[in-house]
Structure 1
Amino acid sequence: MNVNEETRAAVVEAQWLDTRRTWADRLERLGPEVWRLGTLAVLEEAHEDPILRQLYPYTSHCHVHFSSTTRFPYEVAVPFVIPLPDGRFRVMRKDPAGQVGEVDTAGEAVALVVGHVPPRLRLAATGLPMDG
C-alpha cells in the first residue's frame, strides 16, 4: 500500500468510526427507535465486510450509503440500505426501478449489497468523483 492509499484508507476508516459512534450516541440520546437500531446494525455489519469497509459510509434519512469518493457529491456504485419501521431492511439501487430486495436482518441486507458490488471496486478515492 503506498502513502496515498494509506491516507485514503485512514480517511475512510475514520468515517466508519465517526458514523458508527454518531449513531450509537443518537440511540443513547433519543432512544432505541427501530429505524435507529437498524441504521446502526447495518453500519456494524457492513464494517465487518472487507469490500464495503473500503468504501466511505454516510447516512441520510437513516439510509446507509457507501461511496467510492470521500466528498460530496458522493459516487455511489453499490446499493444502499433503508431500515424499515417494522425492523426489516430494504436494499435499493440508485436507479428508479432500483429495489434489490427486502430482508429480515442487517446481515442479510449487507449480503445483498455485497452481491451487487461491481467488479474492480477499489478503495474510496479522496475528493470528488472526477478526481478519483
Structure 2
Amino acid sequence: MPIAPDPAVLYPHVAACGSLAEALQAEAEGSLDAVLVTSPSSAPLLHATVASLLPHRAPLQISAWMHERRWSIRGEEPFQNMPLIDGETNDLAEVAKAVRMWHDGAALNDIRRAAPFVHLTGRFEVPDHDPACLTESEWQSMRQEADELAYAWQEAYQALIEAAHAQPTLRSLYPFTSHWALRFSTTTRPRLTVVGPCLMANSDGTYGVGKGFISQDLGQFATAHEAVALAVRHLPSGLGPTTLGG
C-alpha cells in the first residue's frame, strides 16, 4: 500500500488556514461566518463537521482524501445513522455551498441543485421516525442504488429488488442487504429483527433463496419473480406492521 503524503503537502491551502474548517470558511467568502464549522485536533487538515439547524439531521461530515486532492461529504439522519446525501469533489467552494445549505435546513433536492456534486441516496427525511415511512424510505434508497450500480450483474440484482418491492408482503417489511444478499426485518434500524429467507442474484443470471445468510438451500430459479414468490411462501404467518428497532 502506498504511503499517504503529508496532508500539509497535499493540501497546502488548507494547511495555510490551519484546518479544514477554517479553509471552508475562507472558501465561503463570508457565507459561513455565522456557522460553527469545527475540525478535530487529531486531524485538523483532513476532517470537519457542521451541525444542522434541523434536529433530525446529524452533523455533516467532510473528509479529505489521503492520496489525492479531493473531498467527500456524508450527511446522515441520526436515528438510523443512514446517509441522506453523500458525494465527492475536488472543488472546496462547492463543499462550502453544501455545508451552508445542510446547516440551514434546505431541502435535499435544493442542496443538490446548489452543489451538483451532491448525490441524493434516495432516502427521505422522517422527522417523527414513523416506521412505515422509514421502511418506504429504505426501499426507495435500495431501488435507486440498484439502478445506479455499474456491476456486470446489475440488471439481475435490480430485477430482484423490483420483484421483491412489487410484493406487498415484502414491501411492508424493512429491507436491507449484506454482501448484496437481500434480507428483511420486522423492525427498522438501528436494531434489525431478521425474518424470512435470504434472496440473492447470482452472477450467472439465476436467483437463489435460502434459509440462512448467503444460503441457497431452498432453491435456484431462472427468474426473480419465482425466487420472490418462494420467499413469500416461507414467511411466518401473522406478521404485523414494521416497528422501530431502537
TM-score range, shorter chain: 0.7 to 0.9
CA distance in structure 2 between the aligned counterparts of 1:20 and 1:82, rounded to whole angstroms: 15
Per the TM alignment, residue 73 of structure 1 is displaced from its structure 2 partner at its CA by: 4.3
CA distance in structure 2 between the aligned counterparts of 1:97 and 1:19, rounded to whole angstroms: 21
* Distance change >3 Å, CA 73–CA 93, structure 1 → 2: farther
Per the TM alignment, residue 67 of structure 1 is displaced from its structure 2 partner at its CA by: 1.1
Residue 82 in structure 1 maps to residue 200 in structure 2: yes
Residue-by-residue CA offset, 1:74-115 (whole Å, 9 max, x unaligned): 211100111111100110112798711111111001001001
Contact (CA 8 Å) 1:67, 1:74: kept in 2 or not?
Answer: yes
* Distance change >3 Å, CA 8–CA 73, structure 1 → 2: closer
Per the TM alignment, residue 25 of structure 1 is displaced from its structure 2 partner at its CA by: 1.3
CA distance in structure 2 between the aligned counterparts of 1:40 and 1:117, rounded to whole angstroms: 22
Contact (CA 8 Å) 1:39, 1:64: kept in 2 or not?
Answer: no
Secondary structure (helix, strand or coil) at the match of 1:14 reads: helix
Q: In the alignment, residue 234 of structure 2 is paired with which amino acid?
A: H
User: What is the match of residue 211 of structure 2?
Assistant: 93
Q: In the alignment, residue 226 of structure 2 is paired with which amino acid?
A: E
- The number of residues matched between the two structures is 118
Structure 2 unaligned spans of 5+: 1-128
Q: TM-score, normalized by length of structure 1?
A: 0.80
Greater shift in the superposed pair: 49-58 or 93-102? 93-102
Contact (CA 8 Å) 1:62, 1:82: kept in 2 or not?
Answer: yes
Secondary structure (helix, strand or coil) at the match of 2:229 reads: helix
CA distance in structure 2 between the aligned counterparts of 1:51 and 1:97, rounded to whole angstroms: 22
Q: Which 4+ residue blocks in structure 1 deviate beyond 4 angstroms?
A: 95-98
Larger Rg: 2
Higher relative contact order (CA 8 A, sep 6+): 1
Structure 1 unaligned spans of 5+: 1-5
Structure number with higher strand proportion: 2
Per the TM alignment, residue 9 of structure 1 is displaced from its structure 2 partner at its CA by: 1.2
User: What is the match of residue 117 of structure 1?
Assistant: 235
Residue 52 in structure 1 maps to residue 170 in structure 2: yes
Q: TM-score, normalized by length of structure 2?
A: 0.45
Contact (CA 8 Å) 2:208, 2:216: kept in 1 or not?
Answer: no
Contact (CA 8 Å) 2:143, 2:161: kept in 1 or not?
Answer: yes
* Distance change >3 Å, CA 119–CA 18, structure 1 → 2: same
* 1:1-132 equivalent positions in 2, closer than 5 A: 7-26=130-149, 30-31=150-151, 33-34=152-153, 36-94=154-212, 99-128=217-246
CA distance in structure 1 between the aligned counterparts of 2:177 and 2:215, rounded to whole angstroms: 21
* Distance change >3 Å, CA 18–CA 79, structure 1 → 2: same
Structure number with higher helix proportion: 1
% same residue = 34
RMSD: 2.2
